[in-house]
Amino acid sequence: MQIVIPIFERITPLDAIGPYEVLGRLPGVDLRFAAVEAGPVRVDGNALELVADASLDELPRPDVVVVPGGYGTRPRVRDQRIVEWLRDVHEHTTWTTSVCTGALLLGEAGILDGLEATTHWTQLEKLRDYGATPASRRVVEQGKVITAAGVSAGIDMALTLAARLAGDTVAQAAQLYIEYDPEPPFDSGSLAKAPPEVIELLRGEAAKRDAAA
């Protein structure tokens, strides 16, 4: 079974690497990172590059696709060749999934039309532009399409997907391998839980970054 994670300039690397650590260990899985052209892409925040061994064109028939997010998904900067690849491969996938603003790429490819979907909380209402109904859940499954909320939600989504692909015991083993037994020191990980001053701080920063993206 082939799983492809497309990567691109200004990716949020945890969106891709979280699912990799869960799905890359499943028995019988051939997991590939691919970019429009094989080679390096620079992550959001500019601190390092990720290098894809393959181009998207080399991988026209993945069984599973996991689309990460990042500023590189925004309309003014995204590469339309990823959107076209997604539109093509989705016809044949078993599962088409996204993490964070990867959902904007699925939306642009027409994959979310008529579905419930989620994305990073700052972009949730934008899903309506693609005919989707925003859902404030961490993982939203609709037929073969699964969308996850922001960044770290990709880990939860990948565990859900691992169970579908390889059964509960193997998925639980993946969880134990990555010791995913979260104990965050704060309970501030969602809009419903974070203190108002934290939300205000972030909304201001996100608006500034989106304006600059």
Q: Which residues are catalytic?
A: 100
Q: What binding mask, one character per residue, do residues 41-80 give for a second copy by CB under 8 A, x or -?
A: ----x-xxxxxxx---------------------------
Per-residue interface string for the shown chain with a second copy, residues 86-125, x marking contact by CB under 8 A: --------------x-------------------xx----
Angle at the Cα of 157 from the Cα atoms of 10 and 74, rounded to 5 degrees: 25
Bridge partners (DSSP) listed for residue 67:
98
Of positions 92, 188, 207, 210, contacts a second copy by CB under 8 A: 188
Neighbouring-strand partners of residue 43: 11
Question: Residue 198 interacts with a second copy (CB under 8 A)?
Answer: yes
Binding of a second copy at residue 156 (CB under 8 A)?
yes
Nearest to 85 by CA among 105, 107, 56: 56
Beta strands in the chain (DSSP E): 2-6, 30-35, 39-42, 49-52, 54-55, 64-67, 95-99, 116-117, 133-134, 139-142, 145-148
Supply 61's token pair: 């028939």
Q: How far is the CB of 195 from a second copy (least distance, A)?
A: 7
Q: How many helices (H) and strands (E) are present in the chain, helices listed first?
A: 6, 11
Binding mask 11-30 for a second copy (x = CB under 8 A): -xxx--xx-xx--xx-----
Query: With binding defined as CB under 8 A, does residue 213 bind a second copy?
Result: no
Taking CB under 8 A as the binding criterion, the range among 72-80, 88-96, 109-117, 197-205 that sits at the site for a second copy is 197-205
**Tokens matching residue 4:** 């492809």
- Tell me: does residue 182 bind a second copy (CB under 8 A): yes
Let me know: does 140 contact 150? Beta carbons within 8 Å: no
Single out the segment in contact with a second copy by CB under 8 A; choices: 60-68, 77-85, 90-98, 163-171.
163-171
Contacts of 167 (CB under 8 A, 6+ apart): none
Per CB under 8 A, 144 contacts a second copy:
no
**Of these, 76, 91, 185, 211, which contacts a second copy (CB under 8 A)?**
185
DSSP strands (E only) in 56-185: 64-67, 95-99, 116-117, 133-134, 139-142, 145-148
Q: Which residues form the interface with a second copy (CB under 8 A)?
A: 7, 12-14, 17-18, 20-21, 24-25, 31-33, 40, 45, 47-53, 100, 120-121, 138-139, 149-153, 155-156, 159-160, 163, 168-173, 175-191, 193-195, 197-199, 201-202, 205-206
